[in-house]
Structure 1
Amino acid sequence: MSGSFIAPLATVLGASESGTRLLLSLLSGYPLALLYRSSLLYNQPPAVKHVYFIMTGLLQCWFNFGTDVYHSMFNITFIYILLRVAGGTKFSAVFAFFFNLTYLVVGYYYEVVSGKEYNISWTMPHCVLTLRLTAVAFDLYDGHKTPIPPAYKETALTKAPSLLELFGQCYFFGGFLVGPQYSMRRYMNFVNGEYSDPKTKGPPNTVMPALERFLLGIAYIGAYQAVYIFVSDEFLQSEAFQERGLLLKCVLLIIWGKTCLHKYIGSWLLTEGAIIFCGLSYNNLDENKQPLWDGCTNVRVKLLETGCTLQHAIRSFNCNTNLWMAQYIFKRLRFLGNKLVSQAVTLFYLAIWHGQDTGYFINFFLEFIYTMCERQIASTVERIGPLRQFFGIPALQPVLFVVKKIYSTFLLSFALVGFSLLQYSKWNGVYASLHYVGFVIPALLLSACTFLQFMFPSKSEHNGVTSSSPSKSQTSQKSD
């Protein structure tokens, strides 16, 4: 029955049927949040709220993926049994980590062998579920440590969640389909009314911040649909693109890359608006004693649009996934004794978590190289006095901003080619038409930095002193 109106609507929107289903599901978060805020549900016991979130989440899942809903149901039930039997042990945390990832990867494999082209399938929300269930196992393990490490006090669990609590957290309509990640502790505080209006004990006054994110989300998705008609994935692989000159192709790639990000940003903003409307995103008070509602922010729009470095882009994009990777993988790899290796392992996990296609791995490999290159450039400029003085000239700052913005946007767009086209024959064809310039630029810059650092050694090197401590590493990663 749903197909009778989905196909015509998809044609009008210029989107796929699966994409239209997803958009409708994200928009449904607002009436569902409005119903939750009503007197019918808001002041009900937590068990009633869990049931509401489970029912609505399952309906969203069925609407998008049909009978494939059983994958999430099975995975949640299995982890619940694991936590009941061995929760709080190191074994349970490690086993949950590998079981969840294995289930997801096997799902990817069967999607490929079934001959399906890339599309929105049950593996998309299962990405989110994989991290959520893994986090619960680690949070329970952290909660059984004595004392609880300070870095994990806000998320640690002292007892295993009930089956109703675990299903409610996983199927909450504000975060089941595309995220963001939020801890079980945050979810329990939410259903227990700790984020309610302190005066009325009713729903918090979040209408305006929710509306702001909603409108931003609509604007980004609209911009994506408008530009993608002219600069699409197919266009990058077309003869019309191949025949352009290198400079024009680089300009078109920047436009394509910015547009490509808009669909993810728009989806996250729509989801965040529904979460804010419910009240889950409470994040303490600001300096004016006003509540902040950015606890579930997945994209920092202002930093993304006004930043001019790769680090700015990484810190502003897919924020909650980045924080998850930092807390549950990067920080727990301290035993390796090298931050650079820890970052490489984290990025490898991030790649395989997205899928088995080579495009994901080249995307995150390039991100690793690009961020390392950016750090080397900053280090070289800082240690060489004339360069530091030149790049510090106030009148030069607007020009530097534009140059850095173009440079960082181009490299991010270049890496995104692999992320979007996925298959080697497709992304390598685009890279070849660009003469692999996204590989050549960092190679030349790293070589230049190495030469300059050799020619202008630091004072400690002059004195024969070297440092054995590892260099600082970026702990947050980019996604989808």
Structure 2
Amino acid sequence: MEDLAAAIGVSIPVLRFLLAFLASIPCSWLWRFVPGARLRHLYSAFTGCFLSHHAFGWDANFHFLVPILIGYISMLLFHRHCGSITFIGAFSFLICCHVYYMSGDAWKEGGMDCTGALMVLTLKVISAAINYQDGMLKEEDLRPAQKKNRLILLPSVDEFVGYCFCCGTHLAGPVYEIQDYLDWTADKGLWSSSQKPPSPYGGALRAFLQALLCMGFHTYLAPRFPVSRIFEPQYTEWGFWKRWGYQWLVGFSVRWKYYFIWSISETAVIISGLGFGGWSESEPSKPKWNRAMNVDILGVELAESSAVLPLVWNIHVSTWLRVYVYERVSRKGRKGGFFELLATQIVSAVWHGLYAGYILFFINSALMIAGSRVIYRWQQAIPEGSWFLKKIFWAISLFYAAFELNYACIGFIVLDLRQTLQSFSSLYYAGSLIPVGLIIFGTVVRPPRSVRSKAKKT
């Protein structure tokens, strides 16, 4: 194993994780041949435990047992408040693990621990408990997402553990709803034999080839654009746009690593069949694998607005944050504003880890999304015949999204407070000041009422 790790240029802990991660693909494929829901739950639980043991060591599954017990015991004994109890308990344990392991520093030095998988598991057990708590509410009091995902009956132990450890998603996601898992294992709903689910092999092959391409890009680009150069003396001698251009290249090269990880997960989820999301409306109709897709690469790199980034990056976690945080801190019947957005981004930052770089990244994310909403409202104010002016605003929105993302992402990469502030200051904090200015402008100066009504409808 040492020779193989040296050959591909990674540490032994990272190699162990990669081998277990790749093994999730054949494990997910074999799931298709397991007969009956009960055996499938047991298979999911066993393979997930087996893979995490080989990826992180013998003690990893003991860590995973804590949020699982918090979630299931609260569902069993405290039905009315199980969602709140699990949210507080599971998140508190995750925070303790973040503090103890400080995984961000370990990852940068070639280490690997179980907190990444624990992050995914935390969201799973919280969503399951909240959905079971929602099962007690009247249907007219529920939002559409709550109606779709709520649980009326308590899942059995094997159902819950199988959901938590499902091998294709346990190590790196994506997060999905327990009701979808139960339907999938029981061949119900979209996965009913009467619905004739499509063959997954074409979609899985596409995702796997995408993963290889992403790893190739990352392997080629990362050594050529190291983040460490931002903190070298000669970097300060560069002009403003050259510094921002280099930060863009750093963020661009690092993102391909995440694209690779999510593409492998997508492969595993598709080949198991869980990734099937129905049929397209085109003629002829084609299978959709959106339950497995966790990133839209072109959507990220060519985002026309910062507001769409959560819809195309880490898609399932963004969906979880919207459903279980943003919508629930917003007043029912009203769209959340900046403070609801900020609260959601802070929860996301804490979920990632207690590093200043994460916190500053997600605070800037809230600012840049709020700023993009101002740009969007004024885009709607342009008369229909003003083609050239519409193109100008489209270009402004496109550049704003790219500038803000690649300004803030350095904090996500370096994590350290001093280095994050140093990278921000090298661009004169423009990525923070511009959205703040837009928010103030959007508060003081508003489009005409008729335009605001039109923007609200769209």
Under TM normalisation by the shorter chain, which class is it?
Answer: 0.7 to 0.9
Count of matched residue pairs: 446
Q: How does 1:248-267 map to 2 (within 5 A)?
A: 248-267=242-261
* Cα 1:207/1:114, change in 2 over 3 Å: closer
Given the alignment, which residue of 32, 40, 52 partners 1:37?
32
Shift in Å at residue 243 of structure 1?
Answer: 3.7
The answer to whether the 8 Å contact 1:37/1:278 transfers is: yes
Q: In the alignment, what sits opposite 1:110?
A: 100
- 2:430 is matched by which residue type in structure 1? V
Q: How does 1:95-134 map to 2 (within 5 A)?
A: 95-112=85-102, 119-134=111-126
Q: How does 1:48-87 map to 2 (within 5 A)?
A: 48-66=39-57, 67-87=59-79
The answer to whether the 8 Å contact 1:380/1:449 transfers is: no
Aligned residue for 1:248, secondary structure, equals helix
Q: How does 1:121-200 map to 2 (within 5 A)?
A: 121-147=113-139, 149=142, 150-194=144-188, 195-196=190-191, 198=193
Given the alignment, which residue of 291, 294, 304 partners 1:295?
291
Alpha-carbon RMSD? 3.1
* Cα 1:46/1:19, change in 2 over 3 Å: same
* 1: CA distance, partners of 2:133 / 2:443: 44
The answer to whether the 8 Å contact 2:106/2:112 transfers is: no
2:220 aligned with 1:230: no
* 1: CA distance, partners of 2:122 / 2:170: 11
Shift in Å at residue 447 of structure 1?
Answer: 6.1
* Cα 1:460/1:78, change in 2 over 3 Å: closer
The answer to whether the 8 Å contact 2:294/2:316 transfers is: yes
Aligned residue for 1:393, secondary structure, equals helix
2:396 aligned with 1:375: no
Shift in Å at residue 124 of structure 1?
Answer: 0.9
* Cα 1:260/1:69, change in 2 over 3 Å: same
* Cα 1:275/1:154, change in 2 over 3 Å: same
Q: How does 1:288-437 map to 2 (within 5 A)?
A: 288-335=284-331, 339-383=337-381, 392-393=387-388, 397=391, 404-437=397-430
Aligned residue for 2:171, secondary structure, equals coil
* Cα 1:200/1:186, change in 2 over 3 Å: closer
2:240 aligned with 1:246: yes
* Cα 1:275/1:94, change in 2 over 3 Å: same
The answer to whether the 8 Å contact 2:104/2:415 transfers is: no
Shift in Å at residue 297 of structure 1?
Answer: 1.9
* 2: CA distance, partners of 1:166 / 1:445: 46
* Cα 1:348/1:459, change in 2 over 3 Å: closer
- 1:151 is matched by which residue type in structure 2? A
More off after superposition, 217-226 vs 399-408: 399-408
What whole-Å deviation, never above 9, does each CA across 1:179-216 have from its counterpart, x for those lacking one? 11111111111111235573797x84110011111111
* 1: CA distance, partners of 2:64 / 2:253: 31
What whole-Å deviation, never above 9, does each CA across 1:398-454 have from its counterpart, x for those lacking one? x76666444322210111111111111121122223332323433455566678x38
* Cα 1:444/1:330, change in 2 over 3 Å: closer
What whole-Å deviation, never above 9, does each CA across 1:240-265 have from its counterpart, x for those lacking one? 43443322111111111112221112
* 2: CA distance, partners of 1:329 / 1:312: 18
* Cα 1:8/1:219, change in 2 over 3 Å: same
Aligned residue for 1:179, secondary structure, equals coil
- 1:422 is matched by which residue type in structure 2? L
The answer to whether the 8 Å contact 1:181/1:296 transfers is: no
Shift in Å at residue 377 of structure 1?
Answer: 2.2
TM-score between the two structures when normalised by the length of structure 2: 0.88
Q: State the identity as a percent.
A: 24
Q: In the alignment, what sits opposite 2:271?
A: 277
Aligned residue for 2:225, secondary structure, equals coil
- The runs of 5 or more residues in structure 1 that have no matched partner are 462-466, 473-480
* 2: CA distance, partners of 1:443 / 1:84: 46
Aligned residue for 2:193, secondary structure, equals coil
* 2: CA distance, partners of 1:240 / 1:407: 27
Aligned residue for 1:154, secondary structure, equals helix
* 1: CA distance, partners of 2:194 / 2:381: 55
Q: How does 1:216-227 map to 2 (within 5 A)?
A: 216-227=210-221
The answer to whether the 8 Å contact 1:196/1:204 transfers is: no
- 2:14 is matched by which residue type in structure 1? G
- 1:128 is matched by which residue type in structure 2? V
- 2:232 is matched by which residue type in structure 1? S
Aligned residue for 1:229, secondary structure, equals helix
What whole-Å deviation, never above 9, does each CA across 1:4-29 have from its counterpart, x for those lacking one? x1x43333323344333333222112
Aligned residue for 1:280, secondary structure, equals coil
Q: In the alignment, what sits opposite 1:28?
A: 23
* 1: CA distance, partners of 2:379 / 2:44: 53
- The runs of 5 or more residues in structure 2 that have no matched partner are none
